[in-house]
Structure 1
């Protein structure tokens, strides 16, 4: 690692998305955008859903991130988010995000339907139990 770089690690719950040395990091917190450079003071921010940019040797990289947290401590910057998608450009990331959101929406709809079925079953069991009690 060069003296004038930060060590960036971006993680989602199940894996590390990227671990690189970066010259500059730009992200958005709930109170606005910010830029981190190697000599920036130690810093913590709650991140909004959006795009995180990092630069390594003048090469821009972009990652779509879900909500999370960023912690800069010395030369180490750790980013922990719910979901992240790497891409070569914003158009590619947009397409990938739409696919992922569609999958997430389908899963949510299936979960809601399963919950409704469980609730209906539970109500039916209570009705059956009440009928049995009234017979006795």
Structure 2
């Protein structure tokens, strides 16, 4: 298989001759072998591992995103990725950086929602007075 890991502004990894891929989805682990049918799945923040045809294994800490398999091409599109060989370190990175960022984004979205709601209420009151 040919694996490409895409970030918003760059190609993070471009690996030909990948023998297998294991990724985390909202419903659990998801494995890909070369003869698997084409598919699309959402990815959860977690570890994406892949093994090369020569047996070498690699690990990526990835943020949420999508995985698309079409024929021998596998595209992974995520917001953030970090490569490494120490699974403990990658797990800590996910806990510290990716999941904290999601909590911050939820907080910002909550504040924006309140601001938008307040604006709409004031606009409606202003329109009603006119």
Match of 1:104 among 78, 102, 105: 102
> Any idea what the Cα deviations from partners look like across 1:1-45, whole Å, max 9, x if unmatched?
xxxxx4322223432120123342232466864342xxx336323
Q: Classify 1:72/1:31 alpha carbon distance in 2 versus 1 (closer, same or farther; 3 Å).
A: farther
- Specify which of 90, 104, 110 is matched with residue 93 of structure 1: 90
Task: Tell me the SS of whatever aligns to 2:94.
Answer: helix
Distance 2:108 2:30 in 1: 36
The reply on whether 1:81 has 2:91 as its aligned counterpart is: no
Judge conservation of contact 1:10–1:17 (CA < 8 Å) in 2: yes
Alpha-carbon distance between aligned partners in 2 of 1:111 and 1:31, rounded to the nearest angstrom? 27
Question: What is the TM-score normalised by the length of structure 1?
Answer: 0.68
List, as ranges, runs of 4+ consecutive aligned residues in structure 1 with deviation greater than 3 Å.
28-33
Q: How many residues align?
A: 122
TM-score if structure 2 supplies the norm length? 0.71
Tell me if the contact between 1:7 and 1:77 (Cα under 8 Å) persists in the aligned partners. yes
For the 8 Å contact 2:4–2:75, the answer to whether it is kept is yes
Q: 1:45 to 1:13 in 2, by over 3 A?
A: farther
Residue ranges of structure 2 left out of the alignment (5+ in a row): none
CA RMSD of aligned residues (A): 2.7
Partner of 1:129 in structure 2? 127
Q: Deviations over 1:35-72 (max 9, x none)?
A: 42xxx336323334343221233321012343422315
> Which ranges in structure 1 are unaligned for 5 or more consecutive residues?
1-5
Between stretches 14-23 and 41-50, larger displacement belongs to: 41-50
